Structure 1
Amino acid sequence: MDDNTARPAVEDRGEYALTLVGRDYVMRPSYEAIGAIEAAAGRGLIDLARDAIAGKLTLADTAHVACECIRAFGRSEQDRDSAGATAARIACLILDSPGGFHGALQVVSGLLSLAVTGGFDSQGNPKPATTTKTTTEAPVAG
């Protein structure tokens, strides 16, 4: 699998870069990726995020989350190498990386945390900030 950094991860789009064996792989938590992750794990996004934050996510689940998000990036950018990623290959790269499983789990837990909090839409675009500003002015003049 080649480096998928035709362009770097765009944090404002909810993308994360996972460095594996010296290469950055961009992960995009799209709706399709999250659905595939939940279906394969047999658990919901919140449970997966909790386990990731607590350091309880397995290597297989971590690799699968990363793989689906790398595939989502590949599909959106027409990057065949990323779109064809496999969880088994990602797991091997995780173990062979200097940061190992712990380093990958930190990145994946951050990605899952943002997906759970809803800061991005189904395509990975940031949602507009909500305002809680109060005013004494009438909402409609008239």
Structure 2
Amino acid sequence: MAEAENTARPASEERGEVSLVLDGATMALRPSYEAIFAFEASTDKGLLELARAALEGKMRLADLSQVVTECIRAWGRATQQPSIAASNAVRIGQLIVEAEGGMARVLGIVSGMLSMAVTGNFTASGEVKAGTTTTSEVPAES
């Protein structure tokens, strides 16, 4: 993954994406429904179980690689980058180990993203849901 390959827009918090630097390239992780479905199927673990493992620092590299890969693929599809959408989980796992801060740093980023997904902060397309606003104002009488 060379920096030159990555010409898409950066991660967008409004879209529920988080940034991750792998091999010098800034990638975005997009926790879309398709990504969640794919990493649940490939790990044979549910979203809640994976989020808990990540938060407790007990997620295996194989599972972390699948989660990261599927979220990168979702971002690649959303930004119409076929090479990113075709990312390979084995290579992503190698890049996680080699990343600055290693697996621990990547796990911290992924645990935050999975926590938001578990709590329902994302739409099915992976975008952050609008927050509910409350006010103490009393409606005007008609």
Distance 1:127 1:114 in 2: 10
SS in 1 for 2:132: coil
Deviation string for 1:38-58 (max 9, x for gaps)?
Answer: 111111101100100000000
Which residue is equivalent to 1:11? 13
Between the two proteins, what is the percent identity of the paired residues? Answer: 49
Once the two structures are superposed, what CA deviation does each residue of 1:30-76 show, in whole Å capped at 9, x if it has no partner?
00000011111111101100100000000111111000000001111
Which residue of 1 is the match for residue 71 of structure 2? Answer: 69
- In structure 1, the partner of 2:43 is 41
Q: Give structure 1 stretches of 5+ with no counterpart.
A: none
Where do residues 1-142 of structure 1 align in structure 2 (5 Å cutoff)?
A: 1-3=1-3, 4-133=6-135
Q: Any conservation in 2 of the 1:73–1:83 contact (CA below 8 Å)?
A: yes
Give ranges in structure 2 of 5+ residues lacking alignment.
none
Is the 2:17–2:127 contact (alpha carbons within 8 Å) kept by the matching residues of 1?
Answer: no
Answer yes or no: is the 8 Å Cα contact 1:37–1:65 preserved in 2.
yes
RMSD: 1.8
Name the TM-score, length of structure 2 as normaliser. Answer: 0.89
In structure 2, C-alpha distance between the alignment counterparts of 1:2 and 1:82, rounded to whole Å: 11
1:16 is displaced (CA, Å) by 0.8
| Partner amino acid, structure 1, of 2:59 | L
